Chain A
Amino acid sequence: EVVMTQSPATLSVSPGERATLSCRASQSVSSNLAWYQQKPGQAPRLLIYGASTRATGIPARFSGSGSGTEFTLSISSLQSEDFAVYYCQQYNNWPPLTFGGGTKVEIK
C-alpha cells in the first residue's frame, strides 16, 4: 500500500498570503496525484489531478506541482473561502487508492 504523508498538519496563514502544502508518497506515484479541499460539514471537492491539472471551475490561484514522491499544492493569495482541510490522493498503485492525512489551513 502506498502511504501518503502530508505536512504540515496545520498551516496558519493570513488572508492574501501564499500557502504551500506538501504531500509525500512512500513510493513513486508518477504524476497520478490529486488534491481535494474539504470545508467543515461538506464533502471533499476535487481541485487538482495529474499533479498539476486544475479541475473544472477551480480558480487559477490553486496550482499543483511535483512528480514521483514529492508534491506541492500552492494557493497564491488566500481568500476567506480557502480556509479548509486539503487532502492528497494517489491513484498510481492500487488497490487501495490512498489519501494523505490532510493539512488544515487556518486563519493566522
Chain B
Amino acid sequence: QVQLKESGPGLVKPSETLSLTCTVSGGSISSYHWSWIRQPPGKGLEWIGHISYSGSTNSNPSLRSRVTISVDTAKNHFSLNLSSVTAADTAVYYCASRSATVNIFDIWGRGTMVTVSS
C-alpha cells in the first residue's frame, strides 16, 4: 500500500520560498501521478498542482506564476516550491496521489502545517 509523507519547514518568512517534499513509500513514484493540495486553517481545500510520472505538470492558474513541482525518481519523492509567500499561504499542505485515469485524489499524506510569518 502506497503511503505518503510530507516534510519541510513549518515556518517561512514573507517573500521567501516555501519548499516541501513528499516521500513515497510502498510503491514506485514512476507508477502514479502526484498532487499538492492545501487547506488554510478552518477553511476548505485548494488544489495547487500536479505532476505526472513522466514529469509533465499542471497547476492552479491562481498560483501558477509562483509554483514549481518536480519529481526525483532516484529518491522516490516529489517536491513543491511556492515563491514569494505571504500570510495568505499559511495552510496545511497535503500531498496526494492522483488516479491515473481521472483527476481524483485517492491516497493522501497526513499533511504538514506551514505558517508564513516574520
What residues of chain A have their CB less than 8 Å away from a CB belonging to chain B? 1, 32, 34, 36, 42-46, 49-50, 55, 87, 89, 91, 94-102
Contacts and interface: CB of A to CB of B under 8 A. Distances in A.
Contact of A49 (B60, B94, B102): B102
Contacts of B44: 87, 99-102
Given A44-B45, A101-B44, A95 B60 contact: yes
A32 B47 contact: no
Interface of B: 44-47, 58-62, 94, 96, 99, 102-106, 108-111
Contacts of A100: 44
Given A32-B102, A43-B94, A102-B44, A96 B60 contact: yes
Contacts of A50: 102
Contacts of B108: 43-45
Nearest to A100: B44
Contacts of B106: 46, 55
Contacts of A87: 44-45
Dominant secondary structure at the B interface: loop
Given A43-B94, A44-B45, A102-B44, A97 B109 contact: no
Nearest to B50: A97
Residue with the highest number of chain A CB atoms closer than 10 Å, among B62, B103, B106, B110: B103
A10 to B, nearest CB: 13
B46 A91 contact: no
Contact of B47 (A36, A45, A96, A101): A96
Given A46-B105, A49-B99, A50-B102, 11 more contacts: A42-B110, A43-B108, A43-B111, A49-B104, A87-B44, A91-B102, A94-B103, A95-B47, A95-B61, A97-B60, A99-B46
A96 B108 CA distance: 19
Contacts of B109: 43
